[in-house]
Structure 1
Amino acid sequence: MEIFSWLPKEGSQILFVLFLSFLIGLEREESKANDDHFAFGGVRTYPLIGMIGYALSVLSDMTLIPFLVGLCVVALFLLLAYSHKVKKSGHAGVTSEMSALTTYLIGGLIQHNLLWVATTLVVATILLLSLKQLLEGLAKKIESDDILTFTKFLLLSAVILPLLPNQALTQFQINPLKVWLIVVAVSSVSYASYVLQKLGKNASGILWSAIFGGIYSSTVTTIVLARRSQTENRPHLFSGGILIASGIMYLRLTILLALFNQDLLKQVGLSFLCLAAIAIAFGFLWSKRGDGVDVNLGDIAAVKNPLEFNTALIFSILFVGMLIATQYAVHFFGDSGLYTLAGVMGLTDIDPFVMSLTQNTPSLSPVAIAANALLISAASNNVMKGVYAYFLSSKNSRLQSCLCLIALAGLGIIPIFLFH
């Protein structure tokens, strides 16, 4: 507000009220010009409402009674306007009326010097009003079951998570808060991919499905692409997509390490990024070798919602099991036991094992040893996906897909010798 230092404090506040309420009025004026229905207010009405809110906030002083009475009066006028709109056009939308109430409140917020709150409300209001078609289209693409599932997950993560004890329990030093926080993080990364696949399922081709599927689960994506290759004579396209999905897996692991163990990230992050870049680049170039244009693929969008409670619960059980198994392996068999466990877990879902290492490093094993275990687990997972690809893919693409994944697995263990 220094730019208006030559004005009294109230003068600069009035200008700010006029400016913000005018922005809302301007958006409503443009909407009214493009709408056949009767619409309330415009570039004059909304600033007036904002000024009324500001003036009554000044008069309220230490009590909110005048300001609340003014709010009720403005609401009655808006009710009359709404009733007239419904009778005249039959259109029952109330966004203009609600934005007018918001404008009234903005006057009071500015009078109390809550400028950031007032500006944020205006920006949010204009975005909600302007993005009507986009938001309504988004709502139609999201199924009601997904909304209910996400709401349940919010209950578990935002309500229950803070209630969990933040202390190590049992001889295995299991922290319930950290365990569930990891479940939330891993599920959220998968859910972001899941939502993108759901929203773009009608336009996604093999390569886009490989990218989003790799974020969700590179193993699931490999199986889906391998099976689909039997109906499409595009061996390079499908084998390249499978390789891209495994490259995305390394990016996913890098994100998880960045969230939960910076020491492991520093040790193995560069290797993961290099492996991801090699797999994605080579997979993309390989997919363009003489197979024609990309094809749509909606199957991956039908994968299980990662935010379903059962899915999250199973992951938490696996994660706790891996915490215990990792400690036993290191305690009884040392580094070789950890490497063996890494190779075995790579044949299944590696996320629980990876996250167990983030919690057990460096307290249980040195960072370098844990980094080697991560590389072994990821390489083992690529070998297993190569087996899936070989037996599930078409005759023309099975060898290509298998060799690509085996080669990536071989590259994935080279950093072990470099670190050594």
Structure 2
Amino acid sequence: MQLYADELAFRIALSLAIGLLVGLERGWRERDAAEGSRTAGFRTFGLAGLLGGLTAALSQPLGSELLLAAGLFAFAGVFGAFKLREATHDGDFSVTSAIAALSVFTLGALAVAGDYRIAAASGATVAALLASRAALHSFIQHLSWVEVRSAILLGAMTMIGLSLLPDRALDPWGGFNPWEVWFLTVLTATISYAGYIAVRVLGSARGLMISGLAGGLVSSTATVVALARGAADGQYLAERTGASILACMVSVLRVIALTAIVGFGALPEVLPALLPAAVVFAVAGATLLARRRVAQAAAGPASNPFDFFPLVGFAVFFGAVSVLGAALSDRFGSSSALAASALSGLFDVDVATLTSLRLMDQGIAARAAASSVCAAVALNALARLSLAAVLGPRRFWLPFGAATLAAFGSGLAGFLLWPGLGRA
């Protein structure tokens, strides 16, 4: 890549800027050290970035990548020797400064010989990571092993699973795509972990309200079950009921969000039915929670951000419903597939929503898919109400049922009054 003088000057200046940005953090951290007692500071890191840029600039007209490689090895040797003397003198075993210096040299070279935007962004990232030392160390110290294990598992599910699974349908009807099923499983796990962290970071002072909102991100049904069981002790009934209702609101909003992401064409048909229901849930939940404040923490974060085997069960169930829907659509037409998708809402509204929306790719009209989504949400609400009545006391499930019926009525009104849905 041959560069003109003005562009070359800009890229070399960027190499220097990357080094100075990282050197600013390193120099500030060691600002109290005596002159000459440290291997590298503000100026040295700036020169390291500039050296990387100049080495890359020299290697281009010569057409030799070996010159750049030799420059990197020479820099690493010289810097490493001085850093070894410093570490021996101070009894320091940290390798951070050495890695940062090698990163600065490499990014300086990348700014000249490669994409300067990636080099600039990477340089800022290196500086941010170095500056976040105290926050990151504090964050790690406050993590439990369960949280670390869940984060590692989530990373493995994402990086290994999504990179290995084929992104194509494997069944004769085109309903089972392993990559897509696993992606939605990872998405569910990520939402679960995010909800857990939200409660963990914000603390339990907000108690049931935060637990209800965070739980609705993961599973409104599971949240209602947990709060209904907790209400058996007769304490915080209004708050527990309000939190359950807010979880239902979040569930409805989550369905709207999934529709916008996966099946945007059905969104105008879904909103008139689901948005009024979400508003009713929001008003009812907020009203109950406002009746009196929780005196002390009533609910903390769950003991585990997410469980792996229930997620595998979700993936299996979603895959099975997808294959069933595609097979029914191929054999009997779209009506039976949509009915099966809606019926699965009794167990998992996300599976029902995603399955219904995916059928749009097979030629099913957006209005029909939207009708199936709305039916699944209604059936899921019925399942939650039934569980609340079985597991919770009357003072819990009666107001919960009233809010559910009010939300159902408003959603049905929107469903019938909106012309698009009325003809579906």
Q: Smaller-chain TM-score range?
A: 0.7 to 0.9
Q: Tell me: CA distance 1:155–1:378, structure 2 relative to 1, closer, same or farther (3 Å).
A: same
- Counterparts of residues 187-206 of structure 1 (less than 5 Å): 187-198=186-197, 200-201=199-200, 203-204=203-204, 205-206=207-208
Instruction: Quote the offset at 1:87 in angstroms.
Output: 2.9
Alpha-carbon distance, 1:127 to partner: 1.4
Measure, in 2, the Cα distance between the counterparts of 1:73 and 1:416. Answer: 71
Conserved? CA contact 1:247–1:276, under 8 Å: yes
Contact 2:15 2:108 (8 Å CA) reproduced? yes
Taking the TM superposition and a 5 Å limit, the aligned residue runs for 1:141-180 are 141=143, 143-161=147-165, 163-164=166-167, 166-167=168-169, 169-170=171-172, 172-176=173-177, 180=179
Which residue in 1 is equivalent to 2:15?
Answer: 17
1:106 and 1:229 map into 2 onto residues whose CA distance is 58
Q: Deviations over 1:94-150 (max 9, x none)?
A: 222211111112332233253112201111101111122333344442634214422
Q: In structure 2, what is the equivalent of residue 288 of structure 1?
A: 290
Q: How do 1:102-117 and structure 2 match up within 5 A? A: 102-112=103-113, 114-117=115-118
Is there any run of 5+ residues in structure 1 with no aligned partner, and where?
none
2:42 partner SS: coil
Shift of 1:403: 2.4
Matched with 1:209 is 211
Instruction: Flag structure 2 segments of 5+ consecutive residues without an equivalent.
Output: none
CA offset at residue 22 of structure 1?
1.1
Give yes or no for the alignment of 1:238 onto 2:202. no
Distance in 1 between residues matched to 2:271 and 2:138, nearest whole Å: 39
Report the aligned-residue RMSD: 3.1
Q: Which amino acid aligns with 2:184?
A: A
Mark the CA change 1:93 to 1:278 in structure 2 (over 3 Å): closer, same or farther.
farther
Q: How does 1:241-390 map to 2 (within 5 A)?
A: 241-293=243-295, 295-298=297-300, 300=302, 302=304, 304-305=306-307, 308=308, 310-326=309-325, 335=335, 341=340, 344-361=343-360, 363=362, 365-390=364-389
Could you tell me the TM-score, scaled by structure 1's length? 0.84
Report the 3-state secondary structure (helix = DSSP H, G, I; strand = E; otherwise coil) of the residue aligned with 1:93: coil
Greater shift in the superposed pair: 216-225 or 133-142 = 133-142
Q: Is the 8 A contact 1:40 1:96 kept in 2?
A: no
2:85 corresponds to 1:84: yes
Distance 1:291 1:109 in 2: 57
Moved more, 249-258 or 106-115: 106-115
Distance in 2 between residues matched to 1:414 and 1:362, nearest whole Å = 29
- TM-aligned CA distance change 1:156 to 1:56, over 3 Å: closer
Kindly provide the amino acid, as one letter, of the partner of residue 234 in structure 1: Y
Shift of 1:250: 1.3
How far apart are residue 382 of structure 1 and its match? Answer: 1.2
CA distance in 2, matches of 1:107, 1:187: 36
The question of whether the paired residues in 1 share the 8 Å contact of 2:53 and 2:109 is answered with yes
Separation in structure 2 between the aligned mates of residue 252 and residue 35 of structure 1, nearest angstrom: 54
TM-score, scaled relative to structure 2: 0.83
Q: For 1:349 and 1:227, locate their aligned partners in 2 and report how far apart those are by CA, in whole Å.
A: 20
Residue in structure 2 matched with residue 26 of structure 1 by the alignment: 24
Q: Which letter maps to 2:267?
A: L
Are residues 1:399 and 2:398 paired?
Answer: yes
State the identity as a percent.
19
- Could you say what secondary structure the match of 2:174 adopts? coil
Structure 2 equivalent of residue 68 of structure 1: 69
CA distance in 1, matches of 2:79, 2:274: 58
Match of 2:123 in 1: 122
1:56-91 per-residue CA deviation (whole Å, 9 max, x = no partner) reads 223323113332222222222332343234334333
The alpha carbon displacement at 1:301 in A equals 5.0
Task: Say whether the 8 Å CA contact 1:190–1:215 is kept in structure 2.
Answer: no
What is the Cα deviation at residue 35 of structure 1? 9.1
The amino acid of 1:23's aligned partner reads L
- Offset of 1:338 from its aligned partner? 6.5
Q: Which residue of 2 aligns with 1:46?
A: 45
Among residues 228, 231, 239, which one is paired with 1:229 in the alignment?
231
Take 1:73 and 1:327, find their aligned partners in 2: how far apart are those partners? 61
CA contact (8 A) 1:347 1:384 kept: yes
Indicate if the aligned counterparts of 1:235 and 1:400 stay in contact, CA closer than 8 A.
no
CA distance in 2, matches of 1:29, 1:296: 47
Classify 1:59/1:402 alpha carbon distance in 2 versus 1 (closer, same or farther; 3 Å): same
Q: Name the CA distance, whole Å, in 2 between partners of 1:138 and 1:98.
A: 22
Taking the aligned partners of 2:7 and 2:354, their CA distance within structure 1 comes to 55
Secondary structure class of the residue paired with 1:302? coil
Which of 219, 222, 234 lines up with 1:220 in the alignment?
222
Alignment CA distance shift 1:211-1:55 (3 Å): same
Q: CA distance change for structure 1 residues 350 and 244 in 2, over 3 Å: closer, same or farther? A: same
Aligned length: 405
Query: Residue 338 of structure 1 contacts residue 373 of structure 1 at CA under 8 Å; is this kept in 2?
Result: no
Q: Contact 1:52 / 1:107 at 8 angstroms: preserved in 2?
A: yes
